[in-house]
């Protein structure tokens, strides 16, 4: 299916999008996939915060011509990661290395979202960003929800310095944002192997969300809290003694450690 300005035979991929399964979105999965198909997106990764049920619903509702990739935006102890081609959700609260390992066990791919956005749970806040570069598959060099600061420019510099492929994403939390930014690729990114191959030589198609849709996010959080759909809690991690023995009845320091402020503009 080709949308306005889309060349046939190429893939138009958005690797970061949310539905109402996220604590900060009210977007219906069916409406999301219909909008993506109408706007020429051929491959859409649904990456709700710390869960995949919205992605599974979107995959079931996807119209002909749109491939939904089941993904997740995982909250680690040092910032967010995007994992795609998941069969099971990865719990929040793991270290970045642990989360990447959990994704790899499922055959999934991993990307770094908005690494230099100071308003969100970004990995550049920690000292591990450079060390993680060899362990991931791409970095977002254009996130349509970054409207303040030089986060996208710094992400492009990071991609060039590390040799990581760069992608453009909508990071959509509303149906209005679907397709505002994407990445044009040749090949078939419907599988992990296909996406890895297609990332090399991909072309980013940047765009910006409006301030209006960013203002919807705080309201969505309030509605979701009233519905009892708050943010997923980090996994409990047993405390250990110096010898490595688990201490009964404990969950370890930092079980509920935040990885960044629960910002109004996620």
DSSP H helical ranges for the chain: 29-38, 53-61, 96-105, 129-132, 151-162, 192-199, 211-226
59-97 b/e (C-beta count within 10 Å ≥ 16 → b): bebbeeebbbbbbbbbbbbbbbbbbbbbeebbbbbbebe
114: left (phi over 0), alpha (psi -120 to 50) or beta: left
Q: Is residue 157 part of a domain?
A: yes
Q: Is the pLDDT of residue 89 over 90?
A: yes
In this prediction, residues 6-13 reach a mean pLDDT of 86
Would you say 99 and 82 are in contact if contact means Cβ atoms under 8 Å apart?
no
Q: What is the CATH number of the domain that holds 87?
A: 3.20.20.140
Domains of the chain: total = 1
Of 208 and 199, which is predicted with more confidence? Answer: 199
In a domain, 260, yes or no: no
pLDDT for res 210:
77
**79 within a domain of the structure (yes/no):** yes
- pLDDT number for residue 45: 98
Mean per-residue pLDDT, 222-248: 64
Question: What does the mean pLDDT of the chain come to?
Answer: 86
212 touches 234 (CB < 8 A) = no
Instruction: Give the residue numbers spanning the domain of 67.
Output: 11-217
């Amino acid at each position: 299916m080709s949308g306005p300005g889309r060349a046939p035979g190429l893939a138009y991929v958005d690797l970061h999008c949310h539905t109402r399964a996220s604590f900060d979105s009210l977007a219906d999965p069916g409406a999301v996939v219909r909008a993506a198909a109408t706007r020429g997106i051929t491959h859409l990764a649904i990456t709700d915060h710390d869960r995949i049920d919205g992605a599974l619903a979107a995959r079931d509702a996807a119209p002909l011509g749109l491939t939904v990739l089941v993904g997740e935006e995982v909250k680690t102890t040092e910032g967010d990661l995007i994992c795609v081609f998941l069969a099971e959700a990865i719990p929040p609260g793991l270290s970045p290395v642990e989360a990447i390992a959990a994704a790899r066990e499922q055959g999934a791919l991993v990307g770094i979202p908005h690494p230099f956005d100071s308003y969100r749970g970004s990995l550049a806040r920690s000292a591990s960003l450079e060390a993680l570069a060899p362990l991931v598959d791409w970095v977002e060099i254009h996130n349509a929800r970054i409207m303040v600061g030089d986060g996208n420019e710094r992400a492009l510099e990071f991609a060039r310095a590390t040799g990581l492929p760069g992608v453009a994403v909508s990071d959509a939390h509303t149906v209005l944002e679907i397709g505002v930014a994407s990445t044009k690729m040749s090949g078939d990114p419907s599988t992990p192997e296909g996406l890895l191959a297609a990332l090399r030589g991909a072309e980013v198609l940047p765009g910006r969300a409006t301030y209006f849709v960013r203002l919807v996010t705080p309201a969505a959080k309030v509605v979701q809290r009233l519905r009892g759909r708050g943010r997923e809690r980090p996994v409990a991690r047993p405390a250990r003694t110096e010898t490595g023995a688990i201490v009964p009845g404990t969950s370890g320091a930092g079980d509920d450690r935040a990885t960044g402020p629960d910002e109004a503009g996620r």
